[in-house]
């Protein structure tokens, strides 16, 4: 396989405003050459349209394997929706099946992930921002809620491993999130900055456990959360103490480290300032999701050059695409999963 030239690539993920690229967007992407792109509901209509948009993204930057990302977890976080795509259950529902019968729970997780993978590979999406490894605790904000498998770290780790393994088999890079844990965040980081006062001992034996067990994964996303026991000043996304000491050190994650969306209100200051702080703290890839051209210009201007270390991490991700399942196999998987879901 021919080696990709990353020398002029910017370590940032962008989006677009609509269902197709405008000429201005094409010109901007061709000039700035972001590493990849992410899709949201505003970018999704039909399989044919999404497939063309993914192709157009890649053509704009001149890299046929440029990552195209989406958030397709299941439950309420699905950008590709019915009737064109499978309506997958939430992780909370799958965790509930596991609580009734672990074997059936594991099977349900496997089937749901395979069905999502079929949809993603069919339209050219190569990276899925899933699974959430956050715990479901008494104080957990509803922004996580049933996006979590369980309050028990060992169950989260077990089921998330199945999710990751199924995506990797399909040639899709999973993104473990939100490092080093969003479960103790009592407010929605889209709206305000959560602050966690748990001790390091508590975090080491709970929130960090699933991430440590899946630290070998190739992509991860940070949380916009302040951990007072580690760095009372900066949220994880912009904290060198959290990134270097905890995510890279204690947890041992050596994959591509992606910010959560820079537009979220948990972060403060201009977009350029937010981007600069994140990169100085040790973030590999910036994520900017609004698709607004003026905002993307600001982020691109603040973006540091890609490094050899970031390139090494990018090149370790999945590449082989698994054979596409037949319609009969897909129908059989849906039928079996429906029977398992009936348990809860």
Confidence (pTM): 0.95
190 is an active site residue: yes
What is the CB-side half-sphere exposure of residue 49 using CA atoms within 13 A? 13
Q: Hey, what are 319's tokens?
A: 């590449």
Active-site position among 71, 119, 146, 260: 260
Distance of alpha carbon 64 from the chain centroid:
21
Torsion angle (degrees, nearest 10) of CA 254, 174, 187, 91 = -130
- As beta bridge partners, residue 227 has 196
How many Å apart are CA 283 and CA 295, to the nearest integer? 19
How many Å apart are CA 223 and CA 235, to the nearest integer? 8
> Which regions of the chain are under pLDDT 50?
1
Active-site position among 56, 165, 190, 254: 190
pLDDT at residue 320, rounded to an integer: 54
Crossing angle of helices 47-61 and 23-32, in 10° steps, is: 40
Using CB atoms within 10 Å of the CB of residue 103, give its burial: 0 to 12 exposed, 13 to 18 middle, 19+ buried.
exposed
Question: Is the sign of the CA dihedral 33, 39, 45, 50 positive or negative?
Answer: positive
In the chain, domain spans: 10-341
Count other Cβ atoms within 10 Å, centred on residue 342. 8
The two most distant CA atoms of the chain are separated, in Å, by 54
pLDDT at residue 321, rounded to an integer: 57
pLDDT at residue 138, rounded to an integer: 86
- The CA radius of gyration of the chain, in Å to the nearest whole number, is 19
pLDDT at residue 1, rounded to an integer: 39
pLDDT at residue 3, rounded to an integer: 66
- As beta bridge partners, residue 222 has 179
How many Å apart are CA 138 and CA 156, to the nearest integer? 16
Question: 14: closest CA among 2, 6, 26, 1?
Answer: 26
> What digits encode the pLDDT tens for the residues 290-304?
999 999 999 999 999
- Cβ atoms of 168 and 318 within 8 Å: the answer is yes
Q: Hey, what are 151's tokens?
A: 């309050």
331 is an active site residue: no
Specify the CATH number for 10-341; select among 3.30.450.40, 3.40.50.300, 3.20.20.300, 3.60.21.10: 3.20.20.300
Return the DSSP state at 161.
H
């Amino acid at each position: 396989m021919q080696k990709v030239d990353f020398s002029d690539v910017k370590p940032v993920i962008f989006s677009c405003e609509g269902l197709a690229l405008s000429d201005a967007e094409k010109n901007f992407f061709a000039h700035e050459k972001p590493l990849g792109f992410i899709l949201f509901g505003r970018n999704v209509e039909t399989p044919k349209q999404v497939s063309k948009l993914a192709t157009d993204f890649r053509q704009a930057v001149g890299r046929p394997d440029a990552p195209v990302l989406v958030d397709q977890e299941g439950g309420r976080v699905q950008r590709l929706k019915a009737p064109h795509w499978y309506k997958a259950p939430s992780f909370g529902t799958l965790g509930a099946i596991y609580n009734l019968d672990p074997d059936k729970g594991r099977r349900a997780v496997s089937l749901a992930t395979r069905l999502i993978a079929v949809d993603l590979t069919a339209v050219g999406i190569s990276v899925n921002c899933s699974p959430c490894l956050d715990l479901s605790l008494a104080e957990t904000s509803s922004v996580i809620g049933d996006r979590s498998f369980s309050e028990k770290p060992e169950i989260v780790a077990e089921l998330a491993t199945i999710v990751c393994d199924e995506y990797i088999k399909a040639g899709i890079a999973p993104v473990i999130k939100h490092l080093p844990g969003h479960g103790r965040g009592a407010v929605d980081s889209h709206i305000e900055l959560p602050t966690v006062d748990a001790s390091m001992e508590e975090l080491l034996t709970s929130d960090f456990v699933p991430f440590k067990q899946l630290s070998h994964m190739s992509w991860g996303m940070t949380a916009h959360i302040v951990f007072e026991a580690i760095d009372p000043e900066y949220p994880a996304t912009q904290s060198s103490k959290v990134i270097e000491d905890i995510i890279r050190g204690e947890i041992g994650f050596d994959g591509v480290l992606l910010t959560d969306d820079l537009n979220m209100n948990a972060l403060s200051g201009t977009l350029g300032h937010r981007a600069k702080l994140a990169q100085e703290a040790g973030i590999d890839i910036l994520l900017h999701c609004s698709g607004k051209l003026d905002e993307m210009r600001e982020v691109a201007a603040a973006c540091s050059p890609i490094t050899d270390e970031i390139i090494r991490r990018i090149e370790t991700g999945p590449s082989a695409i698994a054979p596409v399942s037949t319609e009969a196999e897909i129908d059989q998987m849906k039928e079996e999963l429906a029977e398992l879901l009936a348990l809860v």
